[in-house]
C-alpha cells in the first residue's frame, strides 16, 4: 500500500525552498531587486554603489551565518524595504531615509506615535511587509544549510566586496551629502548616510570647520535693555505647511484668492526656508536662533536634539532680557523631535504642548490652537505684569490630505482634478480664517494691549509640488534657491508703529526673520543680534547663500568665541 503524501501546503513549501535555494532563483531575485531599486533611484550612475552596498551586506551576513541563500535574500529584502521606506518619507517630507531616522525618530515615542496616527495608510503596509519579510527570512534561515566554506574564505570575500564599495561612491569627495538626501535618490541615500556616522564619530562637522578657522573676537556683553518705552506683546504664528494662495497660478486659485496672506500694509513678502514638505522644527530653529540649518549639513533635521543646551542667545533670550515672558504653544507633545526641551534650552519659559492645551488629536482646526493661545494670554495678563512673547504653532494644513477635514468653500469650490490639492487649498483657506479671528482679537484690544503679530509659512506642502513645478521649470527640491523653498510671512501692528524697512528685501531668509522683527519693533538688541541685523543688510537678506560668505563665517565664529554657540 502506498504511503500517503504530506499535506499539499508542506509539499508546496518544500518545492518552493528547493527552487529558492538554487543559483538561478537567486540571480532572478537579484535582477528583480535591481530593477526595483533603479526605479526608485532613477540614476544609472548610482546603481553600482547601490548594488555593491547590497552585495556587501550579503557578504557580511554570509561571513557570520554561513547560510548563502539566506544571506542573499536578506540583503535584497533589506535594500528593498529601506528603499520603500525612503520613498514614503521623501513623498511626504522631501528628505530621503537617513540612518539618523533610526537613531533619533526611531527612539522618539511621540514622533513614532504621530507618524502612526497621521500616516497610518502609508506606514501600515510597510510594517506589514517588514513583518512578513521577517517571518519568511526566519523560516528560510532555519532551512538553509550552512556551507562548509572556511572562515578565511568568507572573511576574504567580505573584505573584497567591502573594499570595492568606495570606488562606486556616487558623490564627489567634497560634495555635501545633504543635497543628495534632498534629491529623491531613495535606493542609495540610506547607505550614503552611513558615512555621517563616521563623520560624527571623527568630529567632521560644523564644529571641525570652525575649529580650523582663526579665532574671532567675542561680542561685547549686552547692555541692559531700555525700560523707558512701553513694550508691545509679540505673537508669532507658525502657519503649518502654508504658502501664499495667490502664488498658485493654476485652476483659478490665484484669481480666487488674490490678496491672501498679506501684511498689514497690504504688501506680499516672500520668505526663504530650508525644508520642504515637512521638518517644521528646522524652520523654527532658524527663526529662533538666527542660524541657517544648512550650516550643519546632514545634521539639519536633528538639530533640536544635537544643539540642545548649546545655543545660548536666541530671539527668546533677547526678549526675556527686555522683560518679556516667553512661551510657545505646540500641537505636538513636549518630547516630539526634542523640540520642547530645545526651546526651553534657548530661553522659553513656558511650553504649552499637546497635553497642556487639551488636544485630542494631532490636527485640530487652527481655531483650537488660537483659542488655547487666547486663554493663555488672558491668564497671563491677569496674573503677570510683563509683556508677552508667545509663539503659536498651528497644524490643520499639515498632510496627509486624503481625509476631507476642511469645511467646503462657499460658492464654487476648487476643482483641480487633484483631490489632495483641493483639500489642501480648502484647509489653508480655513486656517487663514481662523488666523483672521486671532488677528481680530489683537486689533480689538490695541488701545489697552498693543501688539505685533508676525505670521509665516514654515515650508511648502507636497500637495502643491506638481502644480508649482509644472508652472516653473526651475522648481527643484535639490536646489535650495528654487521656488520649492519659498513661502511667505505677514506682519501686523496693533497700537504700534512698525518700521517695515527691515522686512523689505526681495526675499528674506528665515534666519533673518527674528532680528528683523526686533528691528521693526524698535527693541534693543544685544551686540550679537545687532551684528546679525548688519549681516542681513550686507547679504541682501540671504544667510547661508550670502554673497559675502566670509562675513557669515565671521559672525558665527564670534558667536562661538562669545559662548553663544557651543559646537564641540
Contact 97, 189 (CB under 8 A): yes
Q: Is 171 helix (H, G, I), strand (E, B) or coil?
A: coil
DSSP label at 449? S
Distances (CA, A) of 236 to 282, 308, 347, 389, 457: 16, 22, 15, 8, 11
pLDDT at 7: 55
DSSP label at 507? E
The domains found in the chain, sorted by start residue, are 8-171 (no CATH), 233-562 (3.40.720.10)
DSSP label at 489? E
* Whether the bond into 400 is cis, omega within 30 of 0: yes
Cell of 232: 508691545
Cell of 302: 536633528
Q: Round to whole Å and give the CA distance between 177 and 196.
A: 9
pLDDT at 225: 87
Q: What H or E segment, with its residue span, contains residue 327?
A: strand 325-329
Q: Which pLDDT tens digits describe the chain residue by residue (568 residues)?
A: 445 555 557 677 778 878 899 999 999 999 999 999 999 998 999 999 999 999 999 999 999 999 999 999 999 999 999 999 999 888 777 789 999 888 777 667 777 777 777 777 777 887 888 888 899 999 899 999 999 999 999 999 999 999 999 999 999 877 778 778 878 899 999 999 999 888 777 666 788 888 889 999 999 999 988 766 689 999 999 999 999 999 998 888 988 888 889 999 999 999 999 999 888 999 999 999 999 999 998 788 889 999 999 999 999 999 999 999 999 999 999 998 899 999 999 999 999 999 999 999 988 999 999 999 999 999 999 999 999 999 999 999 998 888 889 988 876 667 888 999 999 999 999 999 999 999 999 999 999 999 999 999 999 998 999 999 998 988 988 888 999 999 999 999 999 999 999 999 988 999 999 999 999 999 999 999 999 999 999 999 999 999 999 999 999 999 999 999 999 7
Give the torsion sign (CA, 44, 45, 50, 53). Answer: positive
Q: Round to whole Å and give the CA distance between 68 and 332.
A: 46
Give the dihedral of Cα atoms 30, 31, 37, 41; nearest 10 deg: 140
Closest CA to 245 of 266, 225, 265, 259: 259
pLDDT at 1: 47
Q: Round to whole Å and give the CA distance between 546 and 566.
A: 23
Contact 102, 82 (CB under 8 A): no
Helices (H) and strands (E) in the chain, counts: 22, 8
Q: Indicate the angle between helix axes 8-20 and 23-41, nearest 10 degrees.
A: 80
Tell me whether strands 325-329 and 233-239 are parallel, antiparallel or unpaired.
unpaired
Cell of 31: 535582477
Amino acid at each position: 500500500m502506498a504511503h500517503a503524501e504530506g499535506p499539499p501546503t508542506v509539499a508546496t513549501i518544500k518545492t518552493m525552498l528547493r527552487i529558492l535555494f538554487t543559483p538561478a532563483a537567486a540571480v532572478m531575485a537579484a535582477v528583480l531587486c535591481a530593477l526595483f531599486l533603479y526605479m526608485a533611484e532613477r540614476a544609472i550612475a548610482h546603481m553600482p554603489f547601490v548594488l555593491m552596498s547590497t552585495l556587501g551586506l550579503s557578504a557580511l551576513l554570509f561571513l557570520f551565518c554561513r547560510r548563502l541563500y539566506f544571506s542573499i535574500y536578506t540583503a535584497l529584502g533589506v535594500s528593498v524595504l529601506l528603499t520603500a521606506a525612503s520613498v514614503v518619507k521623501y513623498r511626504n517630507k522631501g528628505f530621503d531615509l537617513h540612518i539618523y531616522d533610526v537613531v533619533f525618530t526611531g527612539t522618539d515615542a511621540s514622533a513614532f506615535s504621530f507618524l502612526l496616527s497621521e500616516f497610518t495608510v502609508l506606514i501600515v503596509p510597510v510594517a506589514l511587509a517588514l513583518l512578513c519579510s521577517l517571518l519568511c527570512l526566519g523560516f528560510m534561515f532555519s532551512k538553509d544549510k550552512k556551507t562548509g566554506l572556511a572562515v578565511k574564505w568568507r572573511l576574504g570575500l567580505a573584505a573584497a566586496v567591502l573594499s570595492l564599495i568606495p570606488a562606486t561612491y556616487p558623490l564627489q569627495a567634497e560634495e555635501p551629502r545633504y543635497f543628495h538626501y534632498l534629491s529623491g535618490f531613495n535606493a542609495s541615500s540610506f547607505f550614503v548616510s552611513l558615512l555621517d556616522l563616521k563623520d560624527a564619530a571623527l568630529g567632521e562637522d560644523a564644529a571641525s570647520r570652525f575649529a580650523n578657522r582663526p579665532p574671532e573676537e567675542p561680542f561685547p556683553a549686552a547692555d541692559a535693555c531700555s525700560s523707558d518705552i512701553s513694550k508691545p506683546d509679540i505673537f508669532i504664528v507658525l502657519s503649518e505647511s502654508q504658502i501664499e494662495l495667490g502664488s498658485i497660478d493654476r485652476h483659478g486659485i490665484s484669481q480666487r484668492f488674490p490678496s491672501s496672506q498679506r501684511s498689514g500694509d497690504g504688501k506680499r513678502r516672500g520668505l526663504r526656508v530650508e525644508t520642504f514638505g515637512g521638518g517644521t522644527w528646522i524652520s523654527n530653529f532658524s527663526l529662533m536662533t538666527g542660524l541657517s540649518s544648512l550650516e550643519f549639513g546632514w545634521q539639519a533635521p536633528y538639530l533640536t536634539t544635537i544643539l540642545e543646551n548649546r545655543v545660548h542667545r536666541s530671539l527668546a533670550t533677547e526678549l526675556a532680557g527686555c522683560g518679556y515672558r516667553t512661551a510657545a504653544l505646540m500641537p505636538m507633545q513636549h518630547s516630539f523631535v526634542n523640540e520642547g526641551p530645545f526651546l526651553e534650552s534657548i530661553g522659553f519659559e513656558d511650553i504649552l504642548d499637546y497635553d497642556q492645551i487639551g488636544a485630542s488629536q494631532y490636527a485640530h482646526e487652527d481655531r483650537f490652537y488660537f483659542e488655547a493661545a487666547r486663554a493663555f494670554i488672558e491668564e497671563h495678563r491677569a496674573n503677570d505684569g510683563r509683556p508677552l512673547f508667545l509663539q503659536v504653532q498651528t497644524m490643520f494644513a499639515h498632510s496627509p490630505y486624503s481625509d476631507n477635514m476642511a469645511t467646503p468653500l462657499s460658492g464654487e469650490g476648487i476643482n483641480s482634478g487633484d483631490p489632495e490639492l483641493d483639500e489642501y487649498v480648502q484647509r489653508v483657506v480655513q486656517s487663514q480664517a481662523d488666523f483672521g479671528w486671532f488677528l481680530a482679537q489683537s486689533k480689538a484690544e490695541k488701545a489697552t494691549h498693543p501688539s505685533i503679530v508676525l505670521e509665516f509659512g514654515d515650508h511648502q506642502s507636497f500637495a502643491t509640488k506638481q502644480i508649482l513645478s509644472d508652472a516653473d521649470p526651475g522648481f527643484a527640491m535639490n536646489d535650495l534657491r528654487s521656488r520649492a523653498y519659498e513661502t511667505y510671512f505677514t506682519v501686523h501692528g496693533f497700537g504700534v508703529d512698525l518700521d517695515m524697512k527691515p522686512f523689505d528685501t526681495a526675499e528674506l531668509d528665515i534666519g533673518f526673520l527674528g532680528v528683523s522683527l526686533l528691528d521693526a519693533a524698535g527693541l534693543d538688541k544685544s551686540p550679537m543680534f545687532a551684528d546679525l541685523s548688519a549681516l542681513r543688510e550686507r547679504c541682501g537678506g540671504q544667510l547661508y547663500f550670502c554673497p559675502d560668505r566670509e562675513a557669515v563665517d565671521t559672525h558665527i565664529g564670534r558667536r562661538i568665541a562669545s559662548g553663544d554657540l557651543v559646537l564641540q
